[in-house]
Amino acid sequence: MAELSAVLGVPHNPLLWRTMNAQPVPDDLARTSDNFARFARGIADAGVDVLVVVGSDHLRQFGWANSPAFCIGKSERFACTFENEIRTFGLEPWEMAGDPELAGWLLGDAELQPDIDFAMSNEWVLDHSFTLPAKFMTPELHIPIVPIHTNANIPPIPRAERYASLGRYLRRRIESAPMERRVALIASGHLATEIGGPKQFLGGGSPDQIFDDDAVRWMAEGDIDAAVAGCTFERLAAAGNVTGQFLNFITALAAAGGPAALAECTPSRFANGPFFWWDV
């Protein structure tokens, strides 16, 4: 049987890649770098052999013409990434192995399960929402990935309750999988963040520090009800135009089922970075 060995949440700001590759790491990003390294050790210590990454494609694989609420990638291999990310952020054209057997089980095997109606993709190029957490925490990209896209960017987006349902479903389905796997469930997203708007990157400050403080408290206290209630579309949009990707952390919180062992809002020159770890 499979085992859920770790549940965590991390940022995926692509600007971190170019800036944190500098040596030495800039002082204002040292804590961010240390947290990624700490989580990398946790994944290694847990003996994880597959990453289930819940992230939100940034209108590259899925766009205004076709963006499912929830989609699982079940390819044997995934190409990473897109030309604009290579050009703008210095990312590299990586490749990651998939786990189609586990992905198929999470989809529901022969029938979709009643909890979540997933779409699926056999051809998927992963963007930084998936590749950056994997690269920072498994630098050799030696652990297979099962990517799960959530539409947190293109209204109408799923309500917060649906992300909680997704988390509970993933834990139940992983732990009932008839295959030997040690799984890390990784949520990839933001705290309050604005891209291209008037509140973007305010000198290392948050566009909505009150939201960030609330968000960290929900995770630290394991308060799924408060997290769901506090993540209406209106509240998320007011905190920043891509803050909807915080919803992925509700998935992690629901899967973990309790308070985070570590819940941190890490300041940086860009925006506060979320780092959450649950001991499973």
Q: What pLDDT does 115 receive?
A: 84
pTM of the model: 0.96
The per-type count for the chain, helices as H runs and strands as E runs, is: 10, 11
> What value, to the nearest 5°, has the Cα angle with vertex 118 and ends 230 and 97?
105
Class of domain 3-278 as given by CATH: alpha beta
Q: What is the pLDDT of residue 202?
A: 62
- The kind and range of the H/E element at 40 are helix 30-45
Question: Residue 138 has what pLDDT?
Answer: 97
Going from N- to C-terminal start, the domains of the chain cover 3-278
Tokens linked to 150? 């959530």
Residue range 151-168, pLDDT digits in tens:
999 999 999 999 999 999
Tell me the pLDDT tens digit for each residue of 7-18.
999 999 999 998
